[in-house]
Chains A and B, each alone.
Chain A
Amino acid sequence: GQNIDQPTEMTATEGAIVQINCTYQTSGFNGLFWYQQHAGEAPTFLSYNVLDGLEEKGRFSSFLSRSKGYSYLLLKELQMKDSASYLCAVGKQTGANNLFFGTGTRLTVIP
């Protein structure tokens, strides 16, 4: 089975930096994914880490430590449109693309 934990809610100020943490325990591991989901919309892919370290993509970065079962998503220069739920997901089974999601972190960006 798998257990994925992330904070339920976070609030941050426009222009600031926010870090959303995710810890996981899983049997079988094929990568750590972050998805963004605006209210009433489909989840959209943000990042993928399969090796330890930091992956940077514009304002968003994602970090993975496999030995610690830990990842974080870092959002810089926050914009109001970044208000959304951020879903941490563990990939299982090479090639099968089965993702197991956490409950998501609802981020609210305030002026």
Chain B
Amino acid sequence: ETGVTQSPTHLIKTRGQQVTLRCSSQSGHNTVSWYQQALGQGPQFIFQYYREEENGRGNFPPRFSGLQFPNYSSELNVNALELDDSALYLCASSLKYTNTGELFFGEGSRLTVL
């Protein structure tokens, strides 16, 4: 069974730049969620995608946007990067309707904004 994979694992950007992070969901999972985890904090929900549409969003500005593709993989795009965007970005896949709502996380993409 293929797990959740994310790329790139690490990247460095400067303020004002744009970044795209990618995620391949676990085999058979149709829902992808993105989380931002700052150092020493818990993951913060950014948004979720199901059937290529946004299906819930946390308290993040519009410069955080996403896509889901027909094969259920997903992208997170962040425009006009700010220093505070430095964090670990986690992708999690799941089935939309499950008994437990369990999320399966990837290893994350660590973004540093200078």
A contacts, CB < 8 Å to B: 4, 30-31, 33, 41-45, 48, 87, 89, 91-93, 95-104
Cβ–Cβ contact B101 & A91, under 8 A:
yes
- Comparing B11-19, B40-48, B65-73, B77-85, the segment that makes contact with chain A is B40-48
Within B13-43, the residues touching A (CB, 8 Å) are 31, 33, 35, 40-43
Contacting residue for B96 out of A41, A44, A92, A96, CB 8 A: A96
Contacting residue for B107 out of A41, A48, A89, CB 8 A: A41
Contacting residue for A30 out of B42, B101, B103, B104, CB 8 A: B101
* CB of A103, distance to nearest CB on chain B (Å): 5
Contacting residue for A95 out of B41, B96, B103, CB 8 A: B96
Mostly, the B contact residues are loop
The interface size bin for chain B is 20 to 34
Cβ–Cβ contact A97 & B107, under 8 A:
no
Cβ–Cβ contact B105 & A98, under 8 A:
no
CA distance A31 to B31 in the complex (A): 18
Cβ–Cβ contact A45 & B33, under 8 A:
no
* CB of A5, distance to nearest CB on chain B (Å): 11
Cβ–Cβ contact B105 & A42, under 8 A:
yes
Please indicate the chain B residues that have their CB under 8 angstroms from the CB of A97 in the complex.
31, 33, 48, 94-96, 98, 101, 103
Identify 14 residue pairs between A and B in the complex whose beta-carbon atoms are under 8 Å apart, listed by A's number: A31-B100, A45-B104, A93-B56, A96-B55, A97-B96, A97-B98, A97-B101, A97-B103, A98-B33, A98-B45, A99-B103, A101-B43, A102-B42, A104-B41
Cβ–Cβ contact B48 & A42, under 8 A:
no
CA distance A5 to B73 in the complex (A): 33
Known: A45-B103, A91-B101. A96 touches B43 (CB 8 A): no
Q: Does B102 contact A (CB under 8 A)?
A: yes
